[in-house]
Chain A
Amino acid sequence: MRLFYSYLIGVLFGTGIAVSGMANPAKVLNFFDLAGSWDPSLAFVMGGALLVTFVGYRLVIPRGAPLFDGSFHLPKAKRIDPKLVVGAAIFGLGWGISGFCPGGALPALGVFHGEVWLFVAAMSAGMALTRWISGAKG
């Protein structure tokens, strides 16, 4: 049951990404291109997603625990450190080059375009490399 819900929630997310235009790099890059072919659509994606999540979390989190687990797994990090800021800046650079973010690319894998699989393979390598290096250091 837990896995069935997980799958359906993934389907809902992937459908939302596909409908909204987030899976399309051309649309994402045009959102960033304020000085050129600007397409403000993605502001509406963020707006719709935030509104629903903001209200929904306030209904769900006060319940104290999720349906299929003993407690909520909420991020504990509070500090705004250089790692957060530098990481976000690096992500923005890659997003601006490729037009794909992880949430846009994973549903797009389902379309079976070679370029999406190439992007996700490179992204996985970047994730593994970073974890390996930070693991080796700390």
Chain B
Amino acid sequence: MRRRHQRLAHQHVWGAALETDFTPLQSLFGGAMIGLSAVLLMLTLGRIMGATGIFAGVFAPTSRRDWLWRTAVVLGMMTGPWVVWTLTGALPVVHSDISPLALTLGGLIVGVGVTLGGGCTSGHGVCGLARSSPRSGIAVVVFMATAVATVFVIRHVIGA
């Protein structure tokens, strides 16, 4: 009984595994749109479509002109779910039952990591790999492996 209480407490903090459907075509199509946006940003402004770099620059712009395009991209990103809503009548699912404590902790850690590592999934994972950058290759292998290990520990070691 005591052990069961402990398990519930863990699940409350880290969240339980929620079922999701395998969506290969939808994900491939969404991925292609992400890729197209990266190509278009390079064509127009000559910039890497990295969420970390673009967002960080909103708070530390080098000029007003620099701040404006970054803010426009971020506002555009936030409009994305509403495009889906317009086309399908439903907002995309954003679902987790992770506690506010774990989300705050996770957010802080992500912020530190992407700043030190110089990029995230879009910057290193899409743009960097597309440029065949060895730095990005290393970063992607390391963050993917660490994320898999983290989820394994949370779900199958702590939560087991």
Instruction: Tell me the A residues contacting B by CB distance below 8 Å.
Output: 2-27, 29-30, 32-37, 39-42, 44-54, 56-57, 59-61, 63, 65-69, 71-75, 77-80, 83-104, 106-111, 113, 115-116, 118-131, 134
Q: In the docked arrangement, what's the CA distance between A102 and B114, Å? A: 9
Q: Is B110 an interface residue (CB 8 A)?
A: yes
Report, nearest first, the 7 A-B pairs whose CB atoms are least far apart.
A10-B76, A14-B80, A126-B111, A20-B30, A92-B146, A96-B150, A87-B117
B30 and A18 contacting across the interface, CB-CB below 8 Å:
yes
Assess whether B59 is in contact with A96, with CB atoms less than 8 Å apart.
no
18 contacts between A and B (CB under 8 A): A6-B69, A14-B83, A29-B96, A33-B155, A41-B22, A51-B35, A56-B38, A56-B130, A59-B39, A84-B139, A87-B139, A91-B114, A92-B147, A93-B150, A102-B120, A115-B98, A116-B94, A122-B108
Pair A122/B107 contact, Cβ less than 8 Å: yes
CB of A48 within 8 A of CB of B31, answer yes
Q: Is the CB of B38 within 8 A of A53?
A: yes
Pair B77/A13 contact, Cβ less than 8 Å: yes
Main secondary structure of the interface of A (DSSP, over half): helix
Chain B residues within an 8 Å CB radius of A86 = 116-117
Known A-B contacts A9-B76, A20-B31, A120-B107; A126 and B112 likewise in contact (beta carbons under 8 Å): yes
By a CB distance below 8 angstroms, the chain A residues around B14 are: 97
Please tell me if the beta carbons of A121 and B76 are within 8 angstroms of each other in the complex: no
Q: Specify the main secondary structure of chain B where it touches its partner.
A: helix
Known contacts A96-B146, A98-B102; A9 and B27 CB within 8 A of each other: no
How far, in whole Å, are A8 and B33 apart by their CA atoms in the complex? 12
The contact string, 1 if C-beta is below 8 Å from chain A, for chain B 5-30, is 00000000011011111111111111
Contact with A along B26-52 (1 / 0, CB 8 A): 111111111111111111111111111
Q: Is B1 an interface residue (CB 8 A)?
A: no
Contacts of A85 in B (CB 8 A): 117, 138-139, 142
Residue of B83, B96, B133 with most chain A CB atoms under a 10 A cut-off: B96
Q: List 7 extra interface pairs beyond A94-B113, A129-B112, CB under 8 A.
A: A3-B69, A10-B77, A15-B30, A87-B115, A91-B146, A95-B147, A126-B112
